[in-house]
Amino acid sequence: MVLKNEADLKEDADVKLLENNGVFCTWFDKIWNWGRARSFWPLNYSCNCCPIEMLVAGGAPRFDIARYGYEVFRASPRQADLLVLAGPVTLKMAPVVRRVWLQMAEPKWVLAMGNCAISGGPFRDGYSVLPGGDSILPIDVYVPGCPVRPEALFHGMLELKAKVEGKR
Amino acid sequence: MSAEKATHQLPTDHYIVNVGPQHPSTHGGAHLQTVLDGEIIVDTVVKLGYVHRSVEKIAESKTFTQFIPYTARLDYLSGCLPPLAYTQAVEKLLDIFPTERAEYIRIIMAEFSRISSHLLCIGSLALDLGATTACIYCVRDREQIMDMFEMVGGQRLLLSFLRVGGVSHDLPENFYPAARRFIKELPKMIDEYHAVITGNEILQRRLKGVGRLSTEDALAYGVTGPNLRASGFDYDIRRDDPYGIYDRFKFEVPIDSGGDAWARYLVRVEELVQSARIIEQALDSLPEGDICAKTPRLLKAPENQDVYHHIESSKGELGFYIVGAAGKDKPHRLHVRAPSFINLQVLPMICRGAKFQDLITNIATLDPVLGEADR
């Protein structure tokens, strides 16, 4: 049998027979993404004020990022799959961030946290800040704020979860 | 065979371990090139500039009031202290005197900022040394201050509600009970820190005798703030060169002659108590009145004049040097004397000869904020 999409899966007689006998049919991608979206491993990258809110989001009992399954902050880019680009991307930092991102294994996502990472923010006028992280990295979710509140960071991560699951 | 002979017979090359610029324990984007001989640090080269956002240059294109939010983003851990230094420097330049009530509100918010910065310093010190639980206690209590900041300025971390001549709006009604409650609960919190951090034998062994900084060296390098006081030198700008209305409050300046990481930690814990004392006195004697002095809508420097104003920030002596041009509403040149930058200078010296693990202890107890060091 050839299954092209989800509608096929529901209508196919063989699949129905299997499901009646307790066998669950799905795509590998779907079940992998289901797992990925519920357990991002963010990279411990910090540049300015936003990472303090990230630390609070991860460390404060009030916010508790662990309830979403995103609490495994990794210091090594090879173990992480989510780069939270927090803080301004300065000219000196840009090659470092780019290299860190290249070291991360696929699949990987980038979340721009705060106005500095989105557009340069208040430091856009300066000579040493890039006008946004998207000039060097592909960014999936933009979370505005200066700095971003922990709740807003969670919202951004849940949007990314929806994106990974194909709902956005 | 003695250890000396062994090393003589088995010569090893020095090798370099890079810490940063992307690393959780560097407190921001700093790059520490550590030259190691086995496990012993021979030299540390601190490479800065990863968070350089050209703030001093931006100041030249912003009016005096527009630049206030940028100052908060220098030392982002202590929300109100850099704006306090900046607004007081501008007031010195323009001959503006803030109202009495504004002075008290500023002191209250500045001391809460100091407490929040020290709590995060203690917490991240514990976190860097592997005590995650201890960090969570500090961050939990710091959230109360964040709540108060949010009541006052609508912003959790970097409230820029200080203005030249006063503050932008009054304290809300629900601020006072929250502030009183925090002051009342602080001794209990500190007891908890003593139980979790101070009493922990592992932490004691990793802090005691590590990174010893003598008084002479501290003075020679220009170290200020809790790091200088932990080296046994009695200097606090709040007491020795009072700015604002600090001369009206009774408080003690905690000193420790140890000079090591342990002393730097203890001095910060003791400063929490003293800040709370100042806040309590300020809340008790908070006068009624205007919250902002009458200032012209466009602030212009009256003459070609330069001012320097320094305050005791949570990291040390934070100074703003402003060169004003006659009739202009922007500073001709602005320089920030950042305590984090100057305190970082001693890092290679206090790390030399220590084990590699002590590098993390030393940078955590020096408590630099790279946003301020790089500007």
Chain A: nearest CA to B137, how far in angstroms?
8
Whole-number pLDDT of residue B31: 86
CB B289 within 8 A of CB B100: yes
Core vs surface per residue B222-244: b (16+ CB within 10 A) or e: bbbbbbbbbbbbebbbbeeeebb
- How far, in Å, CA of B157 to CA of B146, rounded? 7
DSSP code for A62: T
Domain count, chain B: 1
Which value does ipTM take for this structure?
0.82
* CATH code for the domain of B176: 1.10.645.10
Domain A40-164 has CATH 1.10.579.10: no
Query: Residue B1: pLDDT above 50?
Result: no
Residue A51 with chain B: CB contacts under 8 Å: 28
Q: Is B343 exposed, middle or buried (0-12, 13-18, 19+ CB in 10 A)?
A: buried
- Using only C-alpha atoms, what is the Rg of chain A? 19
DSSP code for A102: H
Q: Do A100 and B22 touch (CB under 8 A)?
A: yes
Asked, for residue B293, whether it belongs to a domain, the answer is: yes
> What average pLDDT does this structure show over B287-305?
83
Q: Do A123 and B127 touch (CB under 8 A)?
A: no
Residue B143 with chain A: CB contacts under 8 Å: 56, 60, 62
Q: If you search the block for the tokens 């320097």, which residue do you land on?
A: B308
Q: If you search the block for the tokens 């060097």, which residue do you land on?
A: A136
Whole-number pLDDT of residue B25: 61
Asked, for residue B98, whether it belongs to a domain, the answer is: yes
Residue B158 with chain A: CB contacts under 8 Å: 49, 146-147
- How far, in Å, CA of B264 to CA of B121, rounded? 11
Residue A95 with chain B: CB contacts under 8 Å: none
- How far, in Å, CA of B66 to CA of B8, rounded? 62
- Residues of A within an 8 Å Cβ radius of B: 43-49, 51-53, 55-56, 59-62, 73, 75, 77, 87-88, 90, 92-93, 96-97, 100, 122-123, 125-129, 146-147, 149
| Alpha helices per DSSP H over chain B | 3-9, 55-59, 68-72, 81-94, 100-128, 132-153, 175-193, 201-207, 215-221, 226-229, 237-240, 261-284, 339-344, 347-351, 356-366, 370-374
pLDDT in tens, B256-266: 888 888 999 99
Q: Do B51 and A48 touch (CB under 8 A)?
A: yes
Chain B: nearest CA to A35, how far in angstroms?
26
Whole-number pLDDT of residue A142: 92
Tokens standing for residue A17: 């027979």
Chain B: nearest CA to A116, how far in angstroms?
10
Q: Do A126 and B58 touch (CB under 8 A)?
A: yes
Q: State the pLDDT confidence band at A126, using cuts at 50, 70 and 90.
A: confident
Residue B54 with chain A: CB contacts under 8 Å: 123, 126-129
Work out whether strand B317-324 and strand B331-337 pair parallel, antiparallel, or are unpaired: antiparallel
Residue B228 domain boundaries: 3-365
Asked, for residue B93, whether it belongs to a domain, the answer is: yes
pLDDT in tens, B128-184: 888 888 888 888 898 999 999 988 888 888 888 888 888 888 889 899 999 999 999
DSSP string, B102-161: HHHHHHHHHHHHHHHHHHHHHHHHHHHTT-HHHHHHHHHHHHHHHHHHHHHHS-SS----
Tokens standing for residue B3: 């250890």
- How far, in Å, CA of B182 to CA of B276, rounded? 9
DSSP code for A4: -
Q: At what angle do helices B100-128 and B81-94 cross, to 10 degrees?
A: 140
Q: Do A47 and B28 touch (CB under 8 A)?
A: yes
Q: Do B53 and A129 touch (CB under 8 A)?
A: yes
pLDDT in tens, B22-57: 766 667 778 888 888 888 888 888 888 888 888 888
- How far, in Å, CA of A137 to CA of A108, rounded? 11
Closest Cβ opposite residue A88 in set B22, B53, B156: B53
Asked, for residue B375, whether it belongs to a domain, the answer is: no
Residue A79 with chain B: CB contacts under 8 Å: none
Query: Residue B7: pLDDT above 60?
Result: no
Contacts of residue A123, Cβ cutoff 8 Å, sequence gap at least 6:
A88, A116, A129, B53, B54, B55, B58
Asked, for residue B166, whether it belongs to a domain, the answer is: yes
Work out whether strand B162-163 and strand B166-167 pair parallel, antiparallel, or are unpaired: antiparallel
Q: Does B371 touch chain A (CB under 8 A)?
A: yes
Cis-peptide into A147, omega within 30 deg: yes
Nearest to B126 by CA among B194, B76, B44: B194
> What average pLDDT does this structure show over B78-85?
89
Contacts of residue B216, Cβ cutoff 8 Å, sequence gap at least 6:
none
- How far, in Å, CA of B258 to CA of A135, rounded? 49
Whole-number pLDDT of residue B168: 87
Q: If you search the block for the tokens 């170290």, which residue do you land on?
A: B223
Q: Do A87 and B51 touch (CB under 8 A)?
A: yes
Q: Identify the residue among B53, B125, B155 best suited for mutation to test binding to A, counting A beta carbons within 10 A and taking the highest.
A: B53
Distance of CA A144 to the CA centre of its chain: 15
Core vs surface per residue B275-289: b (16+ CB within 10 A) or e: bbbbbbbbbeebeee
Q: Locate the chain B residue with the closest alpha carbon to A116.
A: B53
Q: Do A56 and B73 touch (CB under 8 A)?
A: no
Which of the two residues, B138 and B3, has the higher pLDDT score?
Answer: B138
Query: Residue A1: pLDDT above 60?
Result: no
**Residue A104, helix vs strand vs coil:** coil
DSSP string, B214-260: -HHHHHHHT--THHHHTTT----HHHHS--TTGGGS-------S--S
Residue B140 with chain A: CB contacts under 8 Å: 60-62
Query: Residue A48: pLDDT above 50?
Result: yes
CB atoms within 10 A of CB A31: 11
Which of the two residues, B302 and B98, has the higher pLDDT score?
Answer: B98
Cis-peptide into B21, omega within 30 deg: yes
Q: If you search the block for the tokens 């100091």, which residue do you land on?
A: B114
Nearest to B110 by CA among B322, B344, B318, B373: B318
Closest Cβ opposite residue A44 in set B24, B146, B156: B24
Query: Residue B2: pLDDT above 70?
Result: no
Residue A127 with chain B: CB contacts under 8 Å: 54, 57
